[in-house]
Copies of this chain bind each other. A is one copy, B any other.
Amino acid sequence: MLLTVLNFAGVAVFAASGALIGVRKRLDIFGVWTVAALTGLGGGVVRDVLLGESPPTAFESWESLTVVAVAALTVFIFHPQFAAFRRAVLVLDAFGVALFSASGALMAVHVGTSAVAATLIGITTALGGGVLRDILVNEVPLLIQGGNLQAIPALSGAGVTVLLSESSVGEDWALVAGTVLAFGFRVVAVWRNLNAPYAPDNVVNSLAMSLRRRWQNRDRGSRLRLRRR
């Protein structure tokens, strides 16, 4: 029961984030609804396609569709007010990612996939909606643009859930632990502005240069020593 309510909360947050981007892109009300639906339900649909569940559970549930519609309409009307809640939206989004990574992974475990596959499917469930949203509005996905470690929380949440679900802890606590860990990770990453490293310009050149410098220094050192004699 609690899981169902939390799940709708996750869908609502994701749908609202999609609707907000739709409004910013100056789409009409159907465009905004489409982006909201794809963002809110896309991760779950991709999960079901990968797990061979057909039709996807999101399609069978008028409740999720209603949640998406209400979220999209709310943002459509009150979008300027959402700017004031930027921090709250970030926290809610972190919660959505955390919950979906854990619940997606658990669903894969139920279907009987390997631990590796379940972890990957959890990550896909959590991040798939956002990637589809960004592809639809023709932007480079925020996920690969980086910024505050979006992938790490989803990975840790899904991984811990899978590991614990196969232990004696039980699935419920596995879900809670995975969600809390992923949520904490993301909140800390946003709070401390943590970022993943970028590709170094030229490791080989840098190495070669530092070796040459060391060599020259040794050389100079030996020359200096020669003079001193």
Pairwise interchain contact A199-B79, C-beta atoms closer than 8 A: yes
Across the interface, which residues of B come within 8 angstroms of A55, CB to CB?
A: 50-52, 108, 111, 113, 117, 121
The answer to whether A30 has its CB under 8 Å from any CB of chain B is yes
The answer to whether A62 has its CB under 8 Å from any CB of chain B is yes
Pairwise interchain contact A49-B51, C-beta atoms closer than 8 A: no
Pairwise interchain contact A139-B138, C-beta atoms closer than 8 A: yes
CB distance from A47 to the nearest CB of B (A): 10
Known A54-B50, A116-B60; judge A25-B199 contact (CB<8 A): no
Pairwise interchain contact A113-B198, C-beta atoms closer than 8 A: no
Closest-by-CB residue of B relative to A204 is B81
Pairwise interchain contact A31-B143, C-beta atoms closer than 8 A: yes
Pairwise interchain contact A32-B140, C-beta atoms closer than 8 A: no
Pairwise interchain contact B31-A80, C-beta atoms closer than 8 A: no
* A 168-203 to B, binary, CB cutoff 8 A, 1 in contact else 0: 000000000000000000000000000111111111
Residues 181-229 (chain A) with a chain B CB within 8 angstroms: 195-205
Chain A residues touching B, majority SS: helix
Closest-by-CB residue of B relative to A138 is B140
Known A30-B152, A54-B51; judge A201-B25 contact (CB<8 A): no
Residues 57-96 (chain A) with a chain B CB within 8 angstroms: 59-62, 65, 76-81
* A 115-148 to B, binary, CB cutoff 8 A, 1 in contact else 0: 0110011000000000100011111110111100
Known A26-B198, A59-B121, A113-B60; judge A143-B34 contact (CB<8 A): yes
Across the interface, which residues of B come within 8 angstroms of A158, CB to CB?
A: none
* Residue from A65, A116, A149 with most neighbouring chain B CB atoms (10 Å): A116
CB distance from A150 to the nearest CB of B (A): 8
Known A56-B50, A203-B78; judge A30-B149 contact (CB<8 A): yes
Pairwise interchain contact B25-A140, C-beta atoms closer than 8 A: yes
Residues 19-46 (chain A) with a chain B CB within 8 angstroms: 22-23, 25-35, 45
Seen from chain A, the residues whose Cβ lies within 8 Å of a Cβ on chain B are: 22-23, 25-35, 45, 49-52, 54-56, 59-62, 65, 76-81, 108, 111, 113-114, 116-117, 120-121, 131, 135-141, 143-146, 149-152, 195-205
